[in-house]
Copies of this chain bind each other. A is one copy, B any other.
């Protein structure tokens, strides 16, 4: 079930096809996952989204590729995005996340939500020493 119709994997719209080709080249895989097939209902949105995902997630940077995927999972779980939890967990496993690391990731993100609730429930005031504006 979805709110728009997906494109076909062998897309004929030249703008959509160009993005799909770049996804295949960047990932060294023929597989196009549903996120991109559905975003293709609007070629401009597909283009800008892929451009940003490629720049942030598929370009060498200050953070390790597996760490990036785990951060993506942490946000996606917290936002309750079922699709993104599935796709980025698969991506993290493809980049070498071990079952032990997966379990530890889940321990951290569930503990963080737990202590977030405690801090919010207590309305703990921020320690002045944490303020980057000062000192």
In the bound complex, residues from chain B placing their C-beta under 8 Å from that of A122 are 2-4, 38-39, 41, 106
Contact indicator per residue, chain A 82-93, by CB within 8 Å of chain B (1) or not (0): 111111011000
Minimum CB–CB distance from A6 to chain B (whole Å) comes to: 7
Beta-carbon contact of A1 and B123 below 8 Å: yes
Tell whether, in the assembled complex, residue A3 and residue B86 are in contact, meaning their CB atoms are under 8 Å apart: yes
Q: How far is the CB of A37 from chain B (nearest CB, A)?
A: 8
Interface 0/1 of A9-31, CB less than 8 Å to B? 00000000000000000000001
B2 touches A103 (CB 8 A): no
Q: What's the number of copies of this chain in the assembled complex?
A: 6
Q: Are A124 and B83 in contact (CB under 8 A)?
A: yes
CB-CB under 8 A for A127 and B34, given A56-B107, A81-B80, A133-B1: yes
Q: For chain A, what secondary structure do more than half of its interface residues adopt (helix, strand, loop), or is it mixed? A: helix
Asked, given contacts A112-B76, A113-B75, whether A131 binds B86 with beta carbons under 8 Å apart, the answer is yes
A80 and B83 contact, CB distance less than 8 A: no
What would be 27 A-B contacts, judged by CB atoms less than 8 Å apart? A1-B133, A3-B123, A5-B133, A31-B129, A42-B99, A42-B106, A48-B52, A53-B115, A56-B104, A56-B107, A61-B104, A63-B108, A68-B108, A71-B109, A77-B120, A79-B120, A80-B120, A81-B116, A81-B120, A82-B126, A87-B130, A89-B132, A110-B115, A111-B114, A113-B113, A113-B117, A114-B114
